[in-house]
Amino acid sequence: MMRSKTLGAAIATLGLAASTTAFAANYELVWSDEFNGSSLDESLWSYQIGDGCDIGLCGWGNNERQYYQADNVTVANGLLTIEAREERNKGSAYTSGRIRSIFKGDFTYGRIEARMKLPAGQGIWPAFWMLPTDEAYGGWAASGEIDIMEAVNLGGTGGNDVHGTLHYGGSWPDNVYSGQVYTPSTSVTDNFHTYAVEWEPGEIRWYVDGLLYQTQTEWYSDNGAYPAPFDQDFHLLLNVAVGGDWPGDPDSTTVFPTAMQVDYVRVYQDPAISGDTGGETATSTQVSALSANTRRVKGSEAAEVTVVVTDDLGQPVENATVTGSLTGSYNETVSGTTDASGYVVLQSTSAIKGTVAYEFCVGDISHGSLTYDASANAATCVAYP
């Protein structure tokens, strides 16, 4: 949602077109709001009030024009409504609403979705997004931000486009972002659509109405090893901003009041991925993700393979030695040791000029206390390209 950043440093990494990544998830509903009551359920949500100045973010970091107040958030007839109005409050020309689930719904990994109908108009900026609960890697955006759905100026210069974006890197102004735009086949302002992300270790996928339109696997934090910052608890936010650096201000064509309506918000998790182990003890290791790429070395291409190792409870395994073979353009055995996140990047010692094609296969994973269960691997071999 926050847009202040060094645009020249932005990285548009929309997944690795030439890599293969495999995950398997068994999602179970763990948190939801169906908005069936007559008021906001404050056991699930908290209001954010004001113009951001009380937390040192006047204009919420984006020169937005609204003052958030609880009165603009209503629940009735099975819908949450967040309404933007042209009315003054404490120096702001507009009011709107913003709610978040911090300390009431905080999640690491899972499928997060909402069914929504969006407001139209120049200067109108609805969003369904996530922020880190504890900011383990530092201030925005070193600890990350996941924008599940944002849209600006719908029905005008924004067309029918929705955006899915990650923010990461360093603390402002050393932050960067990557993302993609998607245009649903029917109007997002006249119809309800379901917006979702599936967030797993090392991979985040964006969906509209069940259709995958974006996968991201590359990001970083200045203050933590990959997959930081997207390996910690995040909470949910819903809001409608008015004005700001991205959409610009409302104009004579903007119709007030205008509202975002939300049918439901649901969070699903796979206990094996999200870490609810129920007190069980791990006994074995497995490959939970495997991807292949190349790295440029002095004008040539070296093979680069990322292996993610977890135990049989889905937890990352540190200090596991992964050994595997490269065949094709490279013919050698490579090995390395996983970090605290269960990741190891293996690189060929040889580098080749010209077209590269290779296959990597895991041969063994050794660990001091856990045995290797090859039958549980999500993938054993991966090919490039």
Alpha-carbon span 30 to 51, nearest angstrom: 32
In this structure, are residues 192 and 35 in contact, taking their beta carbons and an 8 Å threshold?
no
Identified catalytic residue from 83, 113, 150, 203: 150
**Paired residues of 97 in beta bridges:** none
C-alpha distances (whole Å) from 6 to each of 9, 44, 168, 218, 241 are 6, 34, 12, 18, 22
Alpha-carbon span 169 to 33, nearest angstrom: 32
Alpha-carbon span 269 to 320, nearest angstrom: 26
Identified catalytic residue from 64, 83, 145, 198: 145
318 belongs to the catalytic site: no
Nearest to 129, CA basis, from 165, 179, 94: 165
- Identify the three-state secondary structure at position 192: coil
Name residue, tokens 């008021």: 39
Give 319's contacts (C-beta < 8 A, 6+ positions apart).
337, 338, 367, 368
Alpha-carbon span 186 to 116, nearest angstrom: 13
Compute the residue count for the chain: 385
150 belongs to the catalytic site: yes
Alpha-carbon span 78 to 264, nearest angstrom: 8
Nearest to 280, CA basis, from 312, 328, 250: 312
Residue 40, both tokens: 């906001």
Query: DSSP string spanning 49-79?
Result: -BSSGGGT-GGGGTT--EEE-GGGEEEETTE
Query: DSSP string spanning 226-245?
Result: TTTTSSS-EEEEEEEEES-T
Catalytic residues: 145, 150
